[in-house]
Amino acid sequence: MTILKLLEKKLLKLKKRITFVIFNHQYLGEEIMETFNLKPSKEIGIIKEAIKEAILEGEIPNEHEAAFNLMLKKGKTLGLKTKVNDAENS
C-alpha cells in the first residue's frame, strides 16, 4: 500500500469520527441528563468531552454502545448515579 493510500484511509477514519462527534454532540448531552437525572451542569460537559476525546483518539469505536458505556464509567467516577441506581436505593 502506498503512503498516499494509507493517508487517505486514515483521513477517512478521522472524518467519520469527527462527523459522529459533531452530529451527536447535542443528543449526547440530552442522553447524559436523562441517564443521570441531571439539569445542565459542568458534569455533562466533562462527560461529553471525555467521550469526544476517546472517539477522536481511537480509544473507543465510533458507536453508541461504546460511548454509552464510557458515559456510565465517567459518570461513576464523578459520583453520579443513574436513574436505575436511584430507584434501587429507594
- According to the model, what pLDDT value does residue 14 have? 76
Across residues 26-48, what is the average pLDDT? 91
Q: Is the dihedral of CA 24, 26, 27, 33 positive or negative?
A: positive
Q: Specify if 12 maps to a domain.
A: no
Rg (CA), the chain: 16
- According to the model, what pLDDT value does residue 90 have? 46
- According to the model, what pLDDT value does residue 5 have? 87
Q: Specify if 57 maps to a domain.
A: yes
> Cα–Cα distance between 79 and 57 in angstroms, integer?
25
Across residues 10-29, what is the average pLDDT? 71
Q: Specify if 8 maps to a domain.
A: no
Q: 60 with 67: CB under 8 angstroms? A: yes
Backbone φ and ψ for 79, nearest 5 degrees, come out as 80, 15
Across residues 20-30, what is the average pLDDT? 70
Across residues 57-66, what is the average pLDDT? 85
Q: 46 with 85: CB under 8 angstroms? A: no
Q: Specify if 32 maps to a domain.
A: yes
Residue 78 belongs to domain spanning: 17-88
Q: Specify if 25 maps to a domain.
A: yes
Tally of domains within the chain: 1
